[in-house]
Structure formats: C-alpha cells, structure tokens
C-alpha cells in the first residue's frame, strides 16, 4: 500500500518524516523532480530504493540535506576543496556537489566510490521533511529505472504505486529538470550534468568550470548509467550475417525493414518497421524490448538500423542494453 500524504497537512509531513526514520520509502517533492527518499545512513532502506526502482545497484545516489550546515555529516570537510564549501553557500538550489565522503555514508549510497553527491533542495517541504526525519535522505528521481523523471505525485504513483510506502504530494515541481551536478576533484570543478542551475550562475563563485565526462554519456562509476534500458534477457546485436549466434530459444527483433533470410533460424521474429520508418521503429522499440524480455526467450537478438538521424538514438539505446550484466 502506498500512503498518499499532502504537503499542506502538518500531520502528513510528520508522517513522511516518521516513515523515513523507520527505514521506509517516501517519494518527496523537490524543486527539480520528485525524489524517491530513504534514510541515507540505513543501507537496508537504501537497498529498498534500488528494489523499487529496479535499478542496478551500482548507480550512486544523491544525498539530500536540510541545510548547508549539515554538509559535514556526509562530506569529509577535512579533505574537501575550499571551492566545494564555497559552492555549498549557493544552497538551497538545484545544484548537486560531489566531494569526498565521510565514513558514515554507506557504500550502497555511493556504489563504493570515495565520493558522495549531496544537495540541499530549494523546496521548503523537502527541507522540512528531511529536518524532521533527522537523517540525510538518499533520493534518486522517483521513476522506474530508465524512464522519465516525475514532476507530479501522479507521475510517481503511475510507476511506483504499491512499490513504495508513501508519496508526499506538493503539486508540480517548479524547475522540472534534475539538478546540475558539479564534481570537485584534483583538477578543479567539473560539470557532470547540466540541470536546473545554469552554469552561468556558478562561474561568479567557482570560476570557469570544466566539462566533465557527462553522467548521461560516459560512465564514471562501474555500471553507472551504461546499462540504462538493459533487458534481463541477454540482448545481442546481430550486425554481421555470418556471426555465430545460437538462435535456439532466442527471439529476433529487426529494427527497420524486412527480416533477412537467415531469420528463418529463429522461432520468433518481430519487425519494428517493415517499411523502414525509423520513427515507427523508435516508437515501438522499448515496448518490444519489454515484451520480448518478459516472454522467456534465451536471448533477444537485434538487427540494428543504420546510425543516421533517429537511428543514432535507437542504436545507442540498443548498445546500452547490450552491455553484459
């Protein structure tokens, strides 16, 4: 059962905080998107986040604090560069800072990294709940792994109803995109994700920022986002006609055009767009991946399309899905 709580009801805000303290999962409003919150210091509670999101347990999470003064609870201030502390003065803001972590942050929160991502949300209700909970709150966006971040409580419930203990409804999120992420390593501040806080607002405080390996493009941590859109059933890209694939028990998915002659070796063949229309292929891709994944085949073999136009995005997603578990 997922409790529906209301941000303008004091008892509901207190209830959300109590559930967090008890190690339960609560979807919380922030100014960017709704987050799926759990006590960041309780690894079992954090494990529930991955369970509910169906997300590989490698992805590090953002830890949310009620105020900048709490920074030292999760970031090791003795090791943190001065610029990080200066950036923290910009909070509350849609700004996430990555710095050296303290020993009390569980590995599950950081995927075993020595750094932790942390922010103070510019949303009064979020800060009130976190303060009342009395613990830092780990929260990824409150969507199922690989899908769009939710900006209303309805979006959250559409995906996570019955998987989480409560959602605290404060209406739609004002910013609507995720926070900007800045890492503070040896070679100065680096933007890992562009988001709700424009970089132009950071340069007066931090100076010129480097463009880092984008969180969404190149994995920083083992498994980080590289497996977005992955199926549980092994997905194999069939590019060469002669490649030695075992078709027994496997399904064949053809992205664009008609199945090739060798498709006859497969017991099940699907074509996303017989006429080669990549818009149609893109529109049906995820549904087909999900359907074939659920159908119990030994493998999903995919004949990709050319990497042109929309074909680039399609093949990119297929490559991510094809990364071995």
Interface ranges with Mg ion (CB under 5 A)? 141
Identify which of residues 207 and 222 has a Cβ nearer to ligand TXA in the complex. Answer: 222
Going residue by residue from 47 to 86, which x/- string records binding to ligand TXA, judged by CB under 6 A? ------------xxxx------------------------
Q: Which is nearer to Mg ion, 46 or 247 (CB)?
A: 46
32: contact with ligand TXA by CB under 6 A: yes
Q: For residue 231, how many other CB atoms are within 10 A of its CB?
A: 18
Q: Could you tell me the smallest distance in angstroms from the CB atom of residue 268 to ligand TXA?
A: 34
Residues in the chain: 325
CB of 215 to ligand TXA, least distance (A): 4
Whichever of 23 and 150 has its CB closer to ligand TXA, that residue is: 150
SS3 (DSSP) at 222: coil
- Encoded one letter per residue, x for contact with ligand TXA by CB under 6 A and - for no contact, window 89-118 reads -----x-x-x-----------x--x-xxx-
The DSSP H or E segment spanning 314 is helix 310-322
Q: Cβ of residue 8: shortest distance to ligand TXA, in angstroms?
A: 20
Nearer to ligand TXA, 58 or 266 (CB): 58
Encoding tokens for residue 79?
């090791």
CB 91, min distance to ligand TXA, A: 12
The answer for 268, left when phi > 0, alpha when psi is -120 to 50, beta otherwise, is: beta
Task: Give the footprint of ligand TXA on residues 198-217 (CB under 6 A).
Answer: 215
**What is the secondary structure of 118-165 as a DSSP string?**
EE--S-HHHHHHHHHHTS-EE--BSS-TTSPPPSSHHHHHHHHTTTSS
Its sign, for the CA torsion 23, 36, 28, 123, is: positive
Q: How far is the CB of 55 from ligand TXA (least distance, A)?
A: 8
Q: Which does 136 bind (CB under 5 to 8 A by kind): Mg ion, ligand TXA, none?
A: none
Integer Cα distance of 131 and 289 in angstroms: 42
Cβ-proximal residues to 281 (8 Å cutoff; 6+ apart), any chain: 255, 256, 272, 273, 305, 310, 314
Interacting residues toward ligand TXA by CB under 6 A: 30, 32-33, 35, 59-62, 94, 96, 98, 110, 113, 115-117, 139-141, 178-179, 181, 183, 192, 215, 220, 224-225
């Amino acid at each position: 059962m997922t409790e529906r709580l209301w941000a303008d009801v004091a008892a509901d805000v207190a209830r959300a905080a109590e559930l967090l303290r008890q190690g339960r999962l609560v979807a919380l409003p922030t100014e960017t998107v709704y987050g799926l919150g759990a006590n960041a210091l309780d690894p079992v509670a954090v494990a529930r986040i991955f369970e509910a999101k169906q997300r590989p347990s490698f992805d590090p999470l953002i830890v949310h604090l009620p105020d900048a003064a709490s920074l030292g609870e999760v970031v090791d201030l003795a090791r943190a560069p001065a610029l990080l502390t200066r950036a923290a003065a910009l909070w509350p803001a849609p700004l996430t800072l990555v710095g050296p972590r303290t020993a009390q942050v569980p590995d599950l929160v950081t995927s075993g990294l020595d750094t932790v991502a942390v922010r103070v949300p510019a949303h009064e209700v979020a800060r009130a709940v976190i303060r009342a909970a009395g613990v830092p709150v780990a929260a990824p966006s409150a969507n199922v792994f690989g899908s769009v971040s939710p900006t209303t409580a309805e979006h959250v419930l559409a995906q996570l109803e019955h998987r989480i203990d409560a959602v605290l409804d404060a209406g739609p999120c004002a910013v609507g995109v995720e926070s900007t992420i800045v890492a503070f390593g040896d070679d100065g501040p680096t933007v890992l994700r562009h988001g709700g806080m424009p970089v132009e607002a950071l340069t007066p405080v931090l100076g010129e920022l480097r463009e880092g390996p984008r969180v969404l493009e190149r994995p920083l941590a083992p498994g980080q986002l590289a497996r977005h859109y992955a199926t549980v059933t092994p997905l194999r890209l069939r590019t060469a006609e002669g490649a030695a694939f075992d078709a027994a028990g496997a399904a064949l998915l053809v992205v664009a055009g008609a199945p090739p002659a060798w498709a006859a070796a497969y017991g099940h063949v699907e074509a996303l767009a017989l006429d080669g229309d990549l818009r149609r292929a893109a529109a049906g891709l995820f549904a087909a991946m999900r359907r074939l994944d659920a159908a119990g085949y030994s493998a999903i073999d995919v004949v990709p399309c050319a990497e042109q136009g929309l074909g680039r995005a399609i093949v990119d997603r297929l490559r991510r899905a094809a990364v071995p578990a």
